[in-house]
């Protein structure tokens, strides 16, 4: 999956699996400058965006169909996603905030328990309390996820490295599985550049 799709699906997958994701999820996601590729443009070059935050492709990002397809495959037949991507003033990472209206009020600890249960056997998904941080996952294949609830409202936060979990190290993870290697092979030593 694409980098935004990876972050958003990691955030919403447990709710989809448990039949708790219906209707629209609103997602605000921020990516670092390395998400723009190697050719700098007027609005994507890091020095231009280093002290700025701006939205782009509002409600029209190319990863939305991929996100919705994966959520349907996870069990959320009627789920839709409104994605508002942003360019952030950092180099590596994606931070996604997904807001969901649940059918019934949810206990915060019980909701976190669902996430821990769904991701319990996943070596590269860590459930966090509070908020994940892009600086912590930079250079890794980890997706750090936190879930918060108040009444019927749930907010799920996910931080990934857009070049790692969002691209290259995810590909290595998939190749490991395809060729029968340990899933974590070659992925526990973080990259350091950029």
The domain segmentation of the chain, as residue ranges, is 3-178
Helical pair 64-73 and 3-17, crossing angle rounded to 10 deg: 30
What pLDDT does residue 94 have?
Answer: 96
What's CA 103's distance to the chain center, in Å?
23
Contact criterion met (CB below 8 Å) for 115 and 175 = no
Q: What does pTM read for this prediction? A: 0.92
Q: Where are the alpha helices (DSSP H) in 123-192?
A: 134-137, 168-178
Say which residue the tokens 């950092």 belong to. Answer: 90
Which residues participate in catalysis according to the annotation?
3
Q: Give the domain 3-178 fold.
A: Dihydrodipicolinate Reductase; domain 2 (3.30.360)
Please give the Cα distance from 48 to 14 (Å, whole number). 37
Mind listing the pLDDT tens digit for each residue in 152-174? 999 999 999 998 898 899 999 99
Which residue did the predictor score with more confidence, 34 or 103? 103
Q: 84: phi > 0 → left, psi -120 to 50 → alpha, else beta; which?
A: beta
Mind listing the pLDDT tens digit for each residue in 40-84? 666 666 677 778 888 888 888 788 899 999 999 999 888 899 999
With 70 as the cut, is the pLDDT of residue 121 above it? yes
How many residues are there in the chain?
A: 194
Please give the Cα distance from 155 to 136 (Å, whole number). 20
Cα radius of gyration (the chain): 16
């Amino acid at each position: 999956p694409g980098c935004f799709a990876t972050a958003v699906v990691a955030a919403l997958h447990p709710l989809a699996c448990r039949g708790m994701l219906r209707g629209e999820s609103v997602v605000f996601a921020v990516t670092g400058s390395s998400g723009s590729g190697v050719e700098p443009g007027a609005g994507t070059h890091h020095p231009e965006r280093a002290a700025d935050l701006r939205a782009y492709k509002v409600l029209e990002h190319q990863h939305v169909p991929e996100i919705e397809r994966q959520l349907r495959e996870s069990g959320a037949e009627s789920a839709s996603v409104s994605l508002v991507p942003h360019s952030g003033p950092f180099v590596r990472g994606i931070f996604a905030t997904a807001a969901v209206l649940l059918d019934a009020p949810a206990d915060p600890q019980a909701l976190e328990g669902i996430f821990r249960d769904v991701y319990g056997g996943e070596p590269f998904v860590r459930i966090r309390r509070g908020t994940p941080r892009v600086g912590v996952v930079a250079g890794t294949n980890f997706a750090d996820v936190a879930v918060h609830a108040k009444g019927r409202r749930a907010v799920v936060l996910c931080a990934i490295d857009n070049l790692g979990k969002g691209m290259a190290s995810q590909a290595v993870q998939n190749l490991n599985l395809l060729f029968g290697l340990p899933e974590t092979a070659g992925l526990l030593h973080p990259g350091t550049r950029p």
